[in-house]
Structure 1
Amino acid sequence: MTDAPEVRQIATADGDDALPTPRPGRLAVIGLGPGAAGLMAPDVRDELDRAQDIVGYTTYTQMAGPLRPDQRILDSDNRCEMDRARLAFTLAAQGRHVVVVSSGDPGVFAMATAVMEALDQSEDPAWQRVDLAILPGISAAQAAAARIGAPLGHDFCVLSLSDNLKPWSQIERRLEHAALADFVIALYNPSSKARPWQLSQALDLLRRHRVPATPIVLGRDVGRPDERVLVTTLGEIQPEQVDMRTLVIVGSSQTRQFPRQNGGVWVYTPRWYPDTTTESS
């Protein structure tokens, strides 16, 4: 793993190209999906196979294989998003075929935003000429939901509980409104060693608006070898069951669960919603 200064140094490094240099340079921001090769979009696999440089967080570049020996892997720490984006544009502006990798979908709390921000802030005309593409992937929320049924079958929202880029007060405000609106809520980045208290506060807030029997889906490393999916309830969930690699789906008032024939349960949210206006008139 390299840190940000080493990543910047690589941007000016020369290397022998085994493939013809594409003109103009191409930069593709791709979503690997949840991790299983079968859940990666064919266009994403094709882009990876044709690329010269693979840029990304170390864990995700390892997930992008198999790669050719002549492909350069430029990996870095997960906190260096803007450095990776600028490196990718610098290489692509030189005429190289660059892929920036994200897990899940690149536009959901991932690298597509950093790449767009880097381009928006740049005054380099060579960056504007780069052939830029965003290739979607299956998000963590979609993967976890599919494993257990269809909990996202009606209106839902996606929130990150990380306060690295926004204040906790803003997270609480958005979570409160989502709970009041009775959305199914998919929570990304629900807990970490640096902020173990936040999930407890989020659950306390949700319990003010949802009944204890509300279904909760915990999907950890879905699509990877250590996959684990658990269904619990808002009244029973414990913060210790969740870490940074867990996707938490909180059901709405209409979300239901029923037994599977071979054990476990299915969880789904009906497409319809009760008409409360006619009930109160």
Structure 2
Amino acid sequence: MPGKILIVGFGPGSFEHITERARGAIEESEVIIGYNTYVDLIRGLLRGQEIVRTGMTEEVSRAQKAVQLAKEGKIVAVISSGDSGVYGMAGLIFEVLIEQGWREGDNPFVEVIPGISSIHSCAALLGAPIMHDACTISLSDHLTPWDVIAKRVEAAAQADFVIALYNPRSGRRTRQIVETQQILLKYRSPKTPVGLVKSAYRDRQNVIRTTLEHMLEHDIGMLTTVIIGNSSTFYHDRLMITPRGYQRKYSLDTLEQKLRPAERLRTENEPWALHAVLLEERQSIRQLADEALAIISGRPAQLMKSNAAHPSVANSAATATSAANADGNEAFFANGHMGEFPSAIFEVAIAPGVANKKFTPAQLACLADMAKEQGELEYTTAHQMILRIPTKDPEAIVAQLQSAGLLLFPIGDVVKVKACDFCDGEKHEGIPYAEELTRRLAGRKVEKELRIGFNGCAMSCYGAVNDDIGLVFRKGTFDLFLGAKTTGRNAQPGRRVAEGIPADRMMEVLETIVRDYETHAFPGERFHKYWKRVGQIAGYVYEENAPAVVAETVCGN
């Protein structure tokens, strides 16, 4: 029969911290192999199995014996305190097997059973000292050269890791912990919190809270784990705590947060993040982008700069950063090239007018000439053309397009105004309102593309009622539709929420609706989902559409 090696980590030693799988493996096994102290710790779980127990420094013989017995068809449990894969027996078992030509799937079967490692059990007794990046370093130089260990201590100290020291001192190894303290004091305050935990969750458990400068004044031995805080770790009464950094973005003393959920991951609120560093390195491109956006949108450039990394702007024509965010340009800046920058892909939405839907031959020729072989033109359902063209000078492109009499708009997650042609200009009364709407709201950044449809008469032949916000101009007043869903099995037009809104009040109502959505929407939340979630917007209450009534036909089919 094929044998098994169950490599069991049984945690700190207390029965309540041994996992169910570890208990099952010990009960299942026919032979228990372990260090004397470990066998004694789990004696209450034994049921008469054969015991192979050895002393310290005899790990190899234990591993070899386990492999031998398993190849004879026995079920063998090799036990380690803590986790068997953290300074335990797991790696050594595999090394011995590999030396004998074993491959996964061969006899014996091997299972590694995890347990609670010392860094975790000791941290729990101290409070929450490893809430941030932490590492473990064994100070035992019996198997690892001391100069390698010292380099690891220095690297961890320099990188501000919380550090858990295993095997810190023994009867013969007394100097290593002293040198470790000296290395750490080069990078950390003498007041840095240090926790000394001996025999965690065992009968002789002892927990000491001290500091880096005083840690050697206390008893430290082989059964002690030393946890050294980082630059932000602090004591609160008897608790040792390393903050994760939530206070940078959250108000911990109030329910009202200074940043909304949609704002917390934005570049301007994470100046320490890698993407923010790269953003500064790309400042020359960003400056051009902001200026171009100001030209397109008619808004001051300084209003755009703080939002340059927002998705609705980063994907728009005005930022000219589609290529700047691509892998090639990231690598370009990451390699330190801060002079001439590569061409960015400039993207812009173009229309001949708000009501006017006719491009002149000269305008089309201008677009074709600019696109040439490297650019492209795309017609969209918003009655706009999108021009994509590589360029190092987006301002010149903007100027050339505007001189051709074209209207320019950002693309991406922005407000898009789609007006009808007003019966080719014959029903002209609503055109000034459509132009005013475009001037005030088109291109405004929002969490998800927001379409405003404008129909110049009650016929609504341009389908305004199928947009997020629909306006139908009727004898100097407006009917307002909200919340259309144009895709999916439950697609539906917007709900008519108001009739006869005076034209001079309509802009105020629309700005209130857009501002409400812009301010409170979740990241990526579409308008119809937002309205349903909040239940009311600008005083208009959300109501579910009544289910469609299916009438039986005369023929019964």
- Normalising by the smaller structure, the TM-score range is 0.7 to 0.9
Give the total of aligned pairs.
254
Counterpart residue number, 2:36? 58
Does residue 267 (structure 1) correspond to residue 240 (structure 2)? The answer is yes
CA spacing shift, 1:239–1:89, aligned 2, 3 Å: farther
Kindly indicate whether the alpha-carbon contact (under 8 Å) linking 2:188 and 2:231 is maintained by their aligned counterparts in 1: yes
Kindly indicate whether the alpha-carbon contact (under 8 Å) linking 2:197 and 2:207 is maintained by their aligned counterparts in 1: yes
Offset at residue 128 of structure 1 (A): 3.0
1:66 alignment partner, SS class: helix
CA spacing shift, 1:224–1:122, aligned 2, 3 Å: same
Matches within 5 A, 1:71-86: 71-86=49-64
Matches within 5 A, 1:1-281: 23-68=1-46, 70-123=48-101, 128-238=106-216, 240-259=218-237, 265-272=238-245, 277=272
Offset at residue 194 of structure 1 (A): 0.7
Partners of 2:166 and 2:271 in 1: CA distance: 31
Counterpart residue number, 2:420? none
Kindly indicate whether the alpha-carbon contact (under 8 Å) linking 1:151 and 1:267 is maintained by their aligned counterparts in 2: yes
Residue identity matched to 2:147: S
Kindly indicate whether the alpha-carbon contact (under 8 Å) linking 2:11 and 2:116 is maintained by their aligned counterparts in 1: yes
2:215 alignment partner, SS class: coil
Residue identity matched to 1:224: R
Partners of 1:141 and 1:44 in 2: CA distance: 19
Partners of 2:271 and 2:172 in 1: CA distance: 42
1:192-236 CA deviation, whole Å, 9 max, x = no partner? 111111111110110111001100000000010000111100122
Partners of 1:239 and 1:199 in 2: CA distance: 12
Counterpart residue number, 1:17? none
Partners of 1:192 and 1:124 in 2: CA distance: 36
Unaligned runs of 5+ in 1: 1-22, 260-264
1:145 alignment partner, SS class: helix
CA spacing shift, 1:68–1:266, aligned 2, 3 Å: closer
1:159 alignment partner, SS class: strand
Identity of aligned residues (%): 37
Partners of 2:102 and 2:88 in 1: CA distance: 24
Partners of 1:126 and 1:143 in 2: CA distance: 32
1:107-142 CA deviation, whole Å, 9 max, x = no partner? 000111110111111136899311110000101110
Offset at residue 61 of structure 1 (A): 1.2
CA spacing shift, 1:78–1:276, aligned 2, 3 Å: farther
More displaced, 109-118 or 234-243? 234-243
Partners of 1:183 and 1:276 in 2: CA distance: 21
Offset at residue 239 of structure 1 (A): 5.4
Output the TM-score relative to the length of structure 1: 0.85
Residue identity matched to 1:144: C
Unaligned runs of 5+ in 2: 249-269, 281-557
Kindly indicate whether the alpha-carbon contact (under 8 Å) linking 2:193 and 2:209 is maintained by their aligned counterparts in 1: yes
Output the TM-score relative to the length of structure 2: 0.44
Kindly indicate whether the alpha-carbon contact (under 8 Å) linking 1:119 and 1:128 is maintained by their aligned counterparts in 2: no
Residue identity matched to 1:85: A
Kindly indicate whether the alpha-carbon contact (under 8 Å) linking 2:27 and 2:47 is maintained by their aligned counterparts in 1: no
2:178 alignment partner, SS class: helix
Partners of 1:168 and 1:92 in 2: CA distance: 36
More displaced, 240-249 or 119-128? 119-128
